[in-house]
Amino acid sequence: MTDRPSLGTLYGVGVGPGAPDLLTLRAVETLRKADVLALPRSNDYGLSMAWRIAAPSVGDVAGQERIFLTFPMSKDPARLRPAIEAACAAIAERLSRGQSVAFATEGDPGLYSTFIYVRQAISALLPGVPVEIVPGVSSVMAVPAMVGAALADGQERIAILPGNYGVEDLAEVLERFDTTVLMKIGPEIPSVLAALERAGLVEKAVYVSKATMPEQRIERDVRRVAAERGDCFAMMIISRRQRSGVLVGEVPFSPPDFAAEAGA
């Protein structure tokens, strides 16, 4: 009787928002040690953004296999499901042989990442498969840093919304939260701008695309992006109030808000 190899470990590795030096030490070590790198891309001919970010630190590792997995940018389950199934079959085959597989994701693997679906599907295919997550610097953290403003202080509340799933309740969210982060905004830019105009908050919004990458763009007059379909790596942050932290009101102190010029 032949022993079956024990299952390899599946790693979900966040590679950060774009700058190669925003990879964590753990991410680099995990990516370098894995037998197989699973690298998502949005079409068969395009680049894997996760690999573009990780390649300078990870480089070529002798004996390591790289598999590029295509996940179309679509909300349609009929298009996405076959892609996820094909990707998971390729990953599961390697894990079953006892190989470790590191799936690299842009930002953090736990936020709007394909890794979430991949992990679920692999766990169903290979019950008991060991899974480890290496957190990454999310764009939600990187964008405020590039803009030069804090995300929240003191008692402030933050909301994060996926714009591509509709923004019908945006006015209500803007009313209830001090800071609203709008991710995946591409097709929704016109309705976002209309809601901001109605709420009188258009001056309090900032648009940022490709934060920390060489192509980074910060647009403090968000009306300028009205005619654009939006970059795949773009978000808006809207800060409703002046900072409400403990110092405000006690000392003359007016920290910058998102839309304010920060030495730009």
Tokens representing 39 are 């690298």
Q: 180, 159 in Cβ contact below 8 A?
A: yes
In sequence order, the β-bridge partners of residue 78 are none
Among 209, 238, 243, 259, binds ligand SAM (CB under 6 A): 209
237 counts as binding ligand SAM under rule CB under 6 A: no
13 counts as binding ligand SAM under rule CB under 6 A: no
Question: Least distance (Å) from ligand SAM to the CB of residue 164?
Answer: 8
* Closer residue to ligand SAM in complex, CB, 7/50: 50
Among 36, 143, 189, 193, binds ligand SAM (CB under 6 A): 143
Q: 202-228 burial, b if ≥16 CB within 10 A, otherwise e?
A: bebbbbbbbbbbeebebbbebeebeee
Distance, in Å, from the CA atom of 39 to the CA atom of 68, rounded to the nearest integer, reads: 5
- Which residues in 120-139 contact ligand SAM (CB under 6 A)? 138-139
* Closer residue to ligand SAM in complex, CB, 94/210: 210
188 counts as binding ligand SAM under rule CB under 6 A: no
Question: Least distance (Å) from ligand SAM to the CB of residue 5?
Answer: 32
Nearest residue to the partner ligand SAM, using Cβ: 107
193 counts as binding ligand SAM under rule CB under 6 A: no
Residues 6 or more apart whose Cβ sits within 8 Å of residue 223? 193, 202
Distance, in Å, from the CA atom of 23 to the CA atom of 40, rounded to the nearest integer, reads: 17
